[in-house]
Structure 1
Amino acid sequence: MSLTLPPKYDAVELAALEDPYPVYRRLRAAGPLCRGGPAQWVVTRYADVAGLVGDDRLGAEFDRDYHRIALGEGPLADFFGRVMLNRDPPAHTVLRRLLGREFTTPAVRRRRERIDAMVAELLAPAVREGRFDAVTDLADKLPIRVLAEFVGLDLADIDEVRPRARTLSQAFATYLAEPERAETVEALVWMRELVAGLFEAERKGPGEDLISRLREVDPATADRRTLIDNVVFLLFAGFATTTDLLSNGCAALAARPDQLAILRADTGVVPRAVEELLRFDAPVQVKSRLVHRPVEIGGRVVKPGRVLVLQLGSANHDETRFARPAELDVTRHPNPHLSFGGGGIHQCLGAALARAEAVSAFTFVARRFTAMEPGGQAVRRHTPNFRSYLSVPLRVTPS
């Protein structure tokens, strides 16, 4: 009797596709699990992924050998062992409490007028000229400016931070190929030195930014190097994912004028639209978890020590949970997408901030442009685990 193996999931091949969602559909249809890399299973269906993202039988904390295999020897493996994304309680609980105060919904709400002003400033040339690039003119600039004020980063440094944060994002793939490792290490070292300098800089008085507060943390609670690495992580995570939400969203709306017309008719729909854009083309496509206790999925028991790759992008397009998942519907409600992690202790720390920036940007687009359409060929950035663009040229008609 022959054994039928589950289908193979290849993150690199999927990353090369302009549209991976038809492949995800076929993988879901084939079964609840796909084969990934060594000792790795990939979960593609919504019900399974949603049930596992907060399951305490799984953990986010991998041993150092895992990071060395994925990232090589040196600073990257060390960095990934420190950031809260890859820590379990109690370390994760401490770090989230220390870093999370500036990113709560009330804290973000207090900065909404400032975010609106940044959007208006960045898109003022588009209003005058009738064109802009969603990546270079908006998405690459807004999140890092917002983060600079939250963290306490000098605005003069953001043009140097931005490309290095994007380079560092390569390390968040399931596996970092050898050719990319040197430049990624260089980006990490540079960002560590920048953040360390912020901690050491003389301040005239107590500030309200994150660095000012973290400088006073007792080393017994979290040592300085751990704090530095987690601020570096915030600069990457808060930049890259929001950048991709904005550029993916602009591209999707420009290709669907009927959906943009809904927002123009009623900007109160924009928050729902942001949730739908997150579902439709999730910036972060996967989460990896280490199995601590046996987990049964579709009749197969996954043993401790194995890795489960939770395919958020596939789950968000599961036809058993979402009607017409391949269609963008800015009025979709409810919309229980998993793009910010789907709940649990590892829910995205910057979710409220990313949502606020997207609501501000798409509200401006709806109010100030009577039309927005492709102004040239959009260019995808093909990287495992992320959906993003290098360029999204657009033509707009100012109102």
Structure 2
Amino acid sequence: MSVVGVRRGDVQARLIADPQVRADPAPFADEMRAKGPVIRGRALLMTFDYGVAADLLRSDDFRVSRLGGNLPRPLRWIADKTDTGGLHPLLPPSLLAVEPPDHTRYRKLVSSVFTTRAVARLRERVQQTANELLDAMESDDGVVDIVDRYCAQLPVAVISDILGVPDADRSQILRFGELGAPSLDIGLSWRQYRKVNEGIAGFEDWLTRHLRQLRRTPGDDLLSQIIAASDAGAAGEPLTDPELRALAGLVLAAGFETTVNLLGNGIRMLLGRPDHLHTLSARPELWPNAVEEILRLDSPVLMSARVARIDTEVAGMPVQAGELVILHLAGANRDPAVFTDPHRFDIERENAGRHLSFSGGRHFCLGAALARAEGQVGLQTFFDRFPDARAAGAGSRRDTRILRGWSTLPITLGKARTAVGS
């Protein structure tokens, strides 16, 4: 069905099954945006327009979608039959799948703990971990897979600090994160579906035991603080165990894969632009803006979705209550109406931070400040330590449709520069 749809040019089928779109979504987004601000496919609507996407992310006429909630009836039956009833980032009570009042309650509780001061402490941990990982790589004089050795390890350390993961369990959490990465995707094969479920179920089993342990012996991690704040009534009724598991699961789903992708995408992009690396070395104050431009140009999250609450219209097109609209965030991030010469990689772009890679409105990413810190510290520390790093092969992209990043990225490190403070 998808192959036939691709041949017919259906926007939905091309999005799911066209290998050229998977390899490079930018030309596809340009082609679709030229057709109008909103495009109607066989089963849904899509927009690649920045203004439309930004408005829908903030509109009260639309809500977040949930897994299987907008499938045709026969496919919904299949989804119901295969639903394990367990944890999933696109099923309530996940923050990604609920609206107020539940969303307000969860977000208020997390915000009470995930403060500016907490992010600053985590940034120090990012710096420490980056230094340790790079120290261990200094003796490598051949080709290394930087995703495996660095990009994946850095966010796992941060997530472990947030969730209070014992050191002995970190490799297990890394495996759960990698298996569950395609959980946001559409069009999974049965083999992929089973792997995703294996990762999610494994993490949920581990998390159930871990929450019991934290209630008995709380640590100084943020999850222990969330439990304490919840029990103290910081957001009204205390969170149930399923709600706590959903919050922790979202930390893994949103905090792991997206940051791995940001670091991998950034390293690959900068290796291809030695002029930018020269500028950043001379003007390190540009690193925060460089990270914004990397997020804009190669967004770790390609798409989001919203469902119409009522009969309405978007950019003049009628939309019925219950209809699904796909927001192609990566396409919106290259809208020439907002970003001059949008395909150019410009670390000094004045409005780079206007990208939609962290979503918007009430569902704006709670971890955006931490993700930015991981990107800035992770990338700057790597290139400060290995200024002569070079690509050593094509690498391979992750087999995901919603998230975009590298699964392998071979590089030659070159001679290490002495770490600051050593």
State if a TM-score over 0.5 links the two structures.
yes
Specify the SS of the correspondent of 1:200. helix
Residue of structure 1 aligned with 2:239, choices 198, 222, 226: 222
Aligned-partner Cα distance in 1 for 2:114–2:271: 30
2:3: which partner in 1? none
**Residues 291, 372 of structure 2: 8 Å contact kept:** yes
1:149: which partner in 2? 161
1:103: which partner in 2? 114
Aligned-partner Cα distance in 2 for 1:32–1:15: 24
Equivalent position amino acid for 1:27 in 2: M
- Post-superposition shift, 1:77? 7.3
Residue of structure 1 aligned with 2:192, choices 180, 185, 189: 180
- Report the aligned-residue RMSD: 2.4
- Post-superposition shift, 1:82? 1.8
Residue of structure 1 aligned with 2:324, choices 286, 296, 307: 307
Residue of structure 2 aligned with 1:49, choices 43, 46, 53: 53
Specify the SS of the correspondent of 1:106. helix
Flag the 1:61–1:20 CA change in 2: closer, same or farther, 3 A: closer
1:84: which partner in 2? 95
Aligned-partner Cα distance in 2 for 1:95–1:393: 40
Residue of structure 2 aligned with 1:74, choices 83, 97, 119: 83
Residue of structure 2 aligned with 1:18, choices 18, 23, 33: 23
- Post-superposition shift, 1:205? 5.0
1:324: which partner in 2? 341
Q: How do 1:219-298 and structure 2 match up within 5 A?
A: 220-298=237-315
Number of aligned residues: 393
Equivalent position amino acid for 2:191 in 1: P
Specify the SS of the correspondent of 1:53. helix
**Residues 61, 290 of structure 1: 8 Å contact kept:** yes
Deviations 1:48-100 (A, max 9, x none): 11121111111015487448838553226763122111110011111112233
Residue of structure 2 aligned with 1:166, choices 158, 178, 196: 178
2:138: which partner in 1? 127
Structure 2: unaligned runs, 5 residues or longer: 1-7, 418-422
Aligned-partner Cα distance in 1 for 2:67–2:331: 27
Flag the 1:371–1:37 CA change in 2: closer, same or farther, 3 A: farther
- Post-superposition shift, 1:25? 0.6
Mean Cα deviation higher: 322-331 or 173-182 = 173-182
- Post-superposition shift, 1:293? 2.5
Equivalent position amino acid for 2:27 in 1: P
**Residues 267, 367 of structure 1: 8 Å contact kept:** no
Residue of structure 2 aligned with 1:195, choices 193, 198, 207: 207
Higher relative contact order (CA 8 A, sep 6+): 1
Query: Normalization by structure 1: what TM-score?
Result: 0.91
Aligned-partner Cα distance in 2 for 1:210–1:71: 34
Specify the SS of the correspondent of 1:122. helix
**Residues 165, 239 of structure 1: 8 Å contact kept:** yes
Equivalent position amino acid for 1:308 in 2: V
Q: How do 1:372-387 and structure 2 match up within 5 A?
A: 372-387=389-404
**Residues 258, 301 of structure 2: 8 Å contact kept:** yes
Aligned-partner Cα distance in 2 for 1:123–1:45: 40
**Residues 34, 43 of structure 1: 8 Å contact kept:** yes
Q: Which has the higher strand share?
A: 1
Aligned-partner Cα distance in 1 for 2:67–2:377: 40
Flag the 1:65–1:298 CA change in 2: closer, same or farther, 3 A: closer
Aligned-partner Cα distance in 1 for 2:120–2:18: 37
Aligned-partner Cα distance in 1 for 2:385–2:214: 43
Flag the 1:15–1:119 CA change in 2: closer, same or farther, 3 A: farther
Flag the 1:175–1:226 CA change in 2: closer, same or farther, 3 A: farther
1:338: which partner in 2? 356
- Post-superposition shift, 1:182? 2.0
2:364: which partner in 1? 347
2:384: which partner in 1? 367
Aligned-partner Cα distance in 2 for 1:33–1:251: 32
Aligned-partner Cα distance in 2 for 1:359–1:288: 28
Residue of structure 1 aligned with 2:221, choices 209, 212, 219: 209
- Post-superposition shift, 1:198? 1.1
Specify the SS of the correspondent of 2:310. coil
Aligned-partner Cα distance in 2 for 1:124–1:63: 42
Query: Normalization by structure 2: what TM-score?
Result: 0.86
Specify the SS of the correspondent of 1:330. coil
Deviations 1:351-385 (A, max 9, x none): 11111111111221332233332112211113111
Aligned-partner Cα distance in 2 for 1:71–1:396: 46
Give the fraction of aligned pairs with identical amino acids, expressed as a percent: 30
Equivalent position amino acid for 1:350 in 2: G
Aligned-partner Cα distance in 1 for 2:179–2:266: 22
Structure 1: unaligned runs, 5 residues or longer: none
Equivalent position amino acid for 2:186 in 1: T
**Residues 372, 394 of structure 1: 8 Å contact kept:** yes
1:30: which partner in 2? 35
Deviations 1:126-182 (A, max 9, x none): 433355322101111110111101111112111111122122121211343333222
